[in-house]
Amino acid sequence: MSINVGDRLPEASFVKATENGPEQISAADYFKGRRVALFSVPGAFTPTCSVKHLPGYVERADELKAKGVDEIACTAVNDAFVLGAWSKANNAGETVTMLADGNGEFARAIGLEMDGSAYGMGQRSQRYAMIVNDGVVEQLHVEAPGEFKVSSADHLIETL
């Protein structure tokens, strides 16, 4: 069963790539006391994720913040080193915080995992975007398989 609007995020942890190396952070601590636009991609460096999804959030970050978003974060079932390299390759470091879900713990905990085995990707996260306000899901936009519409920065800005 997947998470719904009004639900509190379950306990899980992420890993952030920092200047001092990987840093583990709990979801409860990360989302506490702020409004975060969180989007998830099936994988760093994949076509739609790299050409459309991440760049949209980088380009429209100021508009999201003007609508009351304190931080923009991206999660994927990739390790922190891959997400760090992807962030650098897309000049996203100052704009989007990368939260690695390397083992898919968060994706499973919120019921939004997907099986990408047919593409050689194993277990991944579905493509989605959500607004999390102090740990509670305020908005949730999950893409249909193969789609890229409702999880875009454009759509999220329209709904805020």
Structure tokens at 55: 């760049």
Question: How far is 157 from 160, CA to CA, in rounded Å?
Answer: 5
The one catalytic residue in 9, 12, 36, 49 is 49
For the question of residue 74 being annotated catalytic, the response is no
Residues carrying an active site annotation: 49
